[in-house]
Amino acid sequence: MGLPSHNIHLAKQDSAGVYVRHRPETTLLYQIVREYWPEFQAELTSHGKYLPGYVAKEFDEYLKCGRLEYGFLRVRCDSCHDEKLVAFSCKKRGFCPSCGARRMADSAALLVDDILPHQAMRQWVLSVPFPLRFLFANDPKAMTGVLGIVYRTIATHLTHKAGFTKPVAQTGAVTLIQRFGSALNLNIHFHMLFLDGVYIDAKNGTSRFRRAKAPAIDELTRLTHTIAHRVGGYLERRGLLERDTGNAYLSHEAVAVSDEDPSIDLLGSSITYRIALGPQQGRKVMTLQTLPDCGDDPFTTRVGNVAGFSLHAGVATKANERAKLERLCRYITRPAVSTKRAQRHDPCDIRTTGFYFQAG
């Protein structure tokens, strides 16, 4: 049996760093997936359900990521002739913590070094009601339209806050759409890094930056109300939302789109924190809370809440705080799963048997 391998010759480096091979098979997450992934698939099959092919492939490739038996590079130093074996990675986007962490670091460096200007930035985070999370998970076009509404609403607010109108002032943002919550539940929400102000075109062809004041709580509440109203109108015009006196609900067209997804029951259970399969199917999952980290907490100040919509704008960076900006970029581009935050409860205590994961 031949294994795929490649030879790479490297010149000797002055760095004193030592390469240590990543061993995913030693992590709790890998052991759990390896043990229960086949059982989970069998349970789905017994219920006449199945996962989309790309989801199954994500888990199958994760179990091969970083394992030498599935292929490797042989790296050899031309000077000292030392050799190392570097296992292939899966390079998947949705689940693998190792590949996700590498992509997080690369994306944050790209944003800070090449994209974001040396100006004040602010993070805006919009969460939406449960029914819209369900809809966005199955209708990316609707989610794209809603994101455009949110961007235009906040951009207009910043322009007016700085004392200008849109024809003479421009702002900008980078948006990351995260699909996970802190309990690894399905929670689609928008992380938007906005310029904390606007650029004004000068008569000599140059531009100058005018920073806007931080939003107050009442401003955030009004913004959230505007977003909720405009999003509701947009989805209603598309036939995805129906309203009666004091209530709004997904239309038959929206549910029909969702029914085409073979994993729709799993999505619904994940959104509402319920057990999807097995003898306890439908029961609420117990969620655990941890103490917040020291330092800036992006979710304790400057929050607007209206009808299930939540708009946060509590974290900002100054023009010279590039290290803080990079940490913020790493936060919004982080992978869904963190192996360092995984715990396995004592199997001897039936009351606490199970696993506890938190998002990265």
Q: pLDDT tens across 13-71, in order?
A: 444 567 777 788 898 889 999 999 999 889 888 888 888 888 899 999 999 999 999 99
Q: What is the Cα–Cα distance from 339 to 24, expressed in whole angstroms?
A: 10
pLDDT of residue 6: 55
Handedness of CA 53, 55, 60, 66 (dihedral sign): positive
Q: Which residue has the higher pLDDT, 164 or 282?
A: 164
- 264-271 vs 130-138: helix crossing angle, rounded to 10: 150
pLDDT of residue 118: 95
| Per-residue pLDDT at 81 exceeds 50 | yes
Tell me the backbone φ, ψ of residue 309, rounded to 5 degrees. -90, 140
| Per-residue pLDDT at 351 exceeds 70 | no
| Per-residue pLDDT at 255 exceeds 90 | no
pLDDT of residue 177: 94
* Domain positions in the chain: 5-87, 119-319
Residue the block writes with tokens 């296992």: 87
Rg (the chain; Cα; Å):
24
| Per-residue pLDDT at 2 exceeds 90 | no
Query: How do 355-356 and 309-317 pair as beta strands?
Result: unpaired
Instruction: Supply 186's token pair.
Output: 């399905």
| Per-residue pLDDT at 205 exceeds 50 | yes
Instruction: Supply 309's token pair.
Output: 């919509």
Q: What does pLDDT average to over the chain? A: 82
**The one-letter amino acid at 244:** D
pLDDT of residue 246: 62
Query: Rounded mean pLDDT of 88-104?
Result: 89
pTM: 0.81
pLDDT of residue 354: 46
pLDDT of residue 243: 74
pLDDT of residue 128: 93
pLDDT of residue 12: 46
pLDDT of residue 279: 75
Identify which of 203-207, 214-218, 295-299 has the greatest average pLDDT: 214-218
| Residue 265 Cα to chain centre, angstroms | 21
| Per-residue pLDDT at 103 exceeds 80 | yes
Contact 98, 89 (CB under 8 A): yes
Instruction: State pLDDT tens for residues 158-200.
Output: 999 998 887 889 999 999 999 888 777 888 999 999 999 999 9
Give the model's confidence band at 201: pLDDT under 50 very low, under 70 low, under 90 confident, else very high. confident
The DSSP H or E segment spanning 275 is none
pLDDT of residue 300: 47
**The one-letter amino acid at 123:** Q
The percent of the chain in helix, strand and coil, each rounded to the nearest 5, is 40, 25, 40
Handedness of CA 118, 122, 126, 127 (dihedral sign): positive
pLDDT of residue 349: 47
Instruction: Supply 158's token pair.
Output: 């910043």
Instruction: Supply 320's token pair.
Output: 């010279």
pLDDT of residue 1: 41
pLDDT of residue 336: 87
> Dihedral (C-alpha) 52, 58, 59, 61: value to the nearest 10 degrees?
130
- ∠ CA 34-84-5, nearest 5°, is 65
pLDDT of residue 204: 76
pLDDT of residue 254: 66
Contact 184, 198 (CB under 8 A): no
What percent of the chain is modeled with pLDDT above 90?
42
Instruction: State pLDDT tens for residues 285-344.
Output: 755 544 444 444 444 467 888 888 999 999 999 999 999 999 999 999 998 888 777 777
N- to C-terminal Cα distance for the chain? 38
Which residue, among 201, 233, 215, 238, has the nearest Cα to 154 in the 3D structure? 215
